Structure 1
Amino acid sequence: MNTNSRNVTYSTVGDYQLPNLILNQPRKPLGKYGRLRRTYLKQHRPVLYHTMLMNGSLYPHLMEVEQTAESRMQQTMQDLLKQDPAPDKAQNQLMWVQHMNSLKAQAEELVLTELIYS
């Protein structure tokens, strides 16, 4: 095996020198927002996606987006509940569920626009 100045090792296969590449494997599976970001990058920003994949920054980026999106969702839900309180759950459970789903959809739309599809 030969080594160049960047500490990349190579193996000889026939007449070719091929680099011995090792990709960092994810330690923890991606959540919903990390997977959405990965899909967006792969489909709409392929050069950035492949660059990040090759230099090892893709998975850390996706995990950061995942954590930021989750925390932003929680904070946005709290803010929306302060602005528009939910009906009493014990009195009218169906209206409470409908209200909470509406707030969640609003919060998720903000997170998707600001973090995932930008």
Structure 2
Amino acid sequence: MEKVIYDKKNGLWYELQGDYCLLCLKLPEGEQQPVGLWGQRHLRYIKQNRKVFYLNLLTSGKLNGYLTDLDKQAEDMFFRLVKQMAEREDVTEKLKADNQMKWVGRMNNIRSRAKEVINNELIFS
């Protein structure tokens, strides 16, 4: 007997396993794009805290696209915030040339605050 059976009535495929016919379920083949750091953080958050939303995205095949879009938004927002904060606080190339340690400290502070904003606005919401 065949291992895979097609039911013409409902248009579904079944796989024979032992005495049972189990429905063959596959997620649609989508364009697999790599998910970056921000997308991975958001994925971990929705898996733990928003399970129904996660399962809806997963079963509809939209999870990867959603995460790559969010990752791109977060990355763009991060660079924009760092640039704006650095300009506002006068952290320039001149400061970098004059006092490298001060520049590094201030840039680390700016990046830390930008990460905090992104986490609150996009990742953990």
Q: Structure 1-normalised TM-score?
A: 0.86
The answer on 1:37 being equivalent to 2:48 is: no
Q: Bigger CA drift: 87-96 or 8-17?
A: 8-17
Cα offset, 1:96, TM superposition:
0.3
Matched with 1:66 is 71
Matched with 2:58 is 53
The answer on 1:76 being equivalent to 2:77 is: no
Task: Check 1:8–1:63 CA distance in 2 against 1; reply closer, same or farther (3 A cut).
Answer: farther
1:12-65 deviation line (CA, Å, top 9, x unaligned): 323333222223477333211010000000010112112211111111111111
| Distance in 2, Cα, partners of 1:109 & 1:77 | 12
Point out 4+ residue stretches in structure 1 off by more than 4 angstroms.
none
Structure 1 alignment gaps of length 5 or more: none
The answer on 1:20 being equivalent to 2:24 is: yes
2:21 partner letter? Q
Q: Kindly, what percent of the aligned residue pairs are identical? A: 31
Task: Check 1:15–1:50 CA distance in 2 against 1; reply closer, same or farther (3 A cut).
Answer: same
The answer on 1:90 being equivalent to 2:94 is: no
Task: Check 1:13–1:93 CA distance in 2 against 1; reply closer, same or farther (3 A cut).
Answer: same
| Distance in 2, Cα, partners of 1:40 & 1:14 | 38
| Distance in 1, Cα, partners of 2:30 & 2:21 | 24
CA RMSD of aligned residues (A): 2.0
Matched with 1:112 is 119
Structure 2 alignment gaps of length 5 or more: none
